[in-house]
Amino acid sequence: MASKAAPLQSGSGAARGARHVAIIMDGNGRWAKKRLLPRAAGHKAGVDAVRKTVRAAQDMGLECLTLYAFSSENWKRPEQEIMELTGLMKRFIKADLDEFHSNNVRLRIIGNYTAFEPEAVELIEGALAKTANNTGCTLVIALNYGSQDELVRAANRAAQKGEITLEALETELDTADLPPLDLLIRTSGEIRLSNFLLWQAAYAELYFTDMLWPDFDGKALATALESFAGRERRYGGL
């Protein structure tokens, strides 16, 4: 019989010095295909992985966890798949919001979530309002998000206020109120950023794993953080 996994530690020690971790959740379709299941089954399993990972992030004491849930390019997918993804998002909010709220998790959205159907927008805005004053882990969901679009929007707003400088642009980003990004994880073996947090990742550590997203969990997050802890961050210095 397999031995029981050790419980996750809480606090900054378990987070291995990281404050903000972001994840490109990739591989739902391939996970389903390997099991001869429809893509929808992969997306459903991916939602379960989100639950496990968010709970682990809380236990580890991460300040912020950002998840790439729906990119601005995902609208090119078949309409049926978009409907399935939207439905999963709505069920996730209905099923998990009370738990997150009771655990002091604050929900944030980056990207233009108002492009989704009215019922989804209403649920999102209700979740944002309900958790707005929470002071624990911030769960950031990227919905209809593309980093190039974010940078254009930020540059336009900065230009309206005066000279475009590094500091001026950074204060206009969707993530302006969040801790600097420490670690960016991508699952499924792909080695690219796919238009995600391009500015924020300038000096973040990158971690790529062959694990498909539905198989990701707290143990996988801990492994990524162990890798992060062993690196020397130089920020362009010696």
Instruction: Please confirm, yes or no, whether 26 is among the known catalytic residues.
Output: yes
Cα–Cα nearest to 156, from 140, 167, 172 = 172
Give the DSSP H/E element, type plus range, for residue 23: strand 20-24
Query: Cα–Cα distance between 167 and 25 in angstroms, integer?
Result: 30
Please list, in sequence order, all residues whose beta carbon lies within 8 angstroms of the beta carbon of residue 38, skipping any fewer than 6 positions away.
32
DSSP-derived secondary structure letter, 233: P
Tokens at 202, concatenated? 């300038």
The full length of the chain comes to 238
Query: Cα–Cα distance between 233 and 93 in angstroms, integer?
Result: 36
Of 26, 96, 174, 182, the catalytic one is 26
Query: Cα–Cα distance between 98 and 43 in angstroms, integer?
Result: 22
Query: Cα–Cα distance between 233 and 213 in angstroms, integer?
Result: 27
Instruction: Please confirm, yes or no, whether 74 is among the known catalytic residues.
Output: yes
| 27 φψ region: left (φ > 0), alpha (ψ -120 to 50), beta (else) | left
Query: Cα–Cα distance between 126 and 93 in angstroms, integer?
Result: 10
Of 59, 74, 156, 215, the catalytic one is 74
| Residues classed as catalytic | 26, 74
